[in-house]
Structure 1
Amino acid sequence: MWVVKLGGSLSADPVLPQWLDLLAQLGGGRVTLVCGGGSLADEVRRLQSHWQFNDLAAHNMAVLAMAQTAYQFNALNPALQLATSRSDIRRVLHKGQTALWLPFELQREQPDGQTNWEVTSDSIALDLARRLNAERLVVVKSCRMEGAPTLAQLGEQGIVDARFASLAQGAAFPIEVIHKGDLEGMRALLYGENRVMGAGRGF
């Protein structure tokens, strides 16, 4: 089973339908899709900056932003099946379909290590991949990446969140961070071709 995280920045991108079609067609039975919050999460940041409310409220609002993106992706491609829990995800995959995660389980009543802006949907996808015993994590970004940067370098550049590289240490599965334009690379990976696509080699 794989976890694929699509950055919320793809929400209004012309390439989005191609990604959703690819994951629906070739990811059936093995891919769980995690959505970023995109501009909706950016609005949470803006409101928090304006009103200075706490990180717990901002976290819960950002989780809802991820869920709204998931509903959008499902509306654009209903073949992607909404799932709210690990048991739901396994049920969808067992039926040979691609799971689209609604992260309501991340809502919190008390702050914890995830209720801050150092942990975004990138690290949330990584945590889900661990909890599902995934075989691979692919993070799809809109940002161009020069050369083959490490996860730590991507964190320094703000391409992945500040905690991602440290949380990825010791992961039992490979992690790739790829550009939204590399649809063919993702297709090749799903077909089982051995191609090194992006960052995070060795993790």
Structure 2
Amino acid sequence: MATTSVPALDLALIEESAKKSALVWVRGPEGPDRALWHVWHDGAVCLVGDGPAEQPLAGLGLVHQGTATVTARSKDKGGLLVVWPARVVELSPDGEPWRAAVAELAGKRLNAPDAVTIAERWARECRVLRLEPAGALLEGPGAMPDGPRAAAPLPTAATTRRPAPAGLPKLLLRRGRRTG
């Protein structure tokens, strides 16, 4: 089902990087990149989300027939490997493509609260998306940007802890000597 305008070498690199990595970073028309777990199935990255117990897709602006940018990392080094454009396809729960994608996703879903009835819950409460490669690599081996790619942290209500009390290191050192 993948678009034929993707060069064969690019498609092979996209497929291998998506198959070997547990996460991809997805950026929709809205919001920053978000790390999402996925499976590679039938020529596309498949995602499930937006349900109460699933990963959030809201805020990315991923809509049927829309676009997204997908970033995959290298399995061995963990660094950026490829960035590619994708076409978003939302699968309907009453179709065979949805059932096939859900069968793959359910097998990879860790710690599901309802492993036996997960497909029914996903049909009722979640969205299943396919991100199909839609063109040549935007970044890849030999064509990476030179500058830093670090992004500013997102705003949050979380705070850092207070400084450790001055006497704590001395207490911990004394405790270590007694048990050692």
Q: Which TM class, normalised by the smaller chain length?
A: under 0.3
| Larger helix percent | 1
Rg larger in 1 or in 2? 2
| Larger strand percent | 2
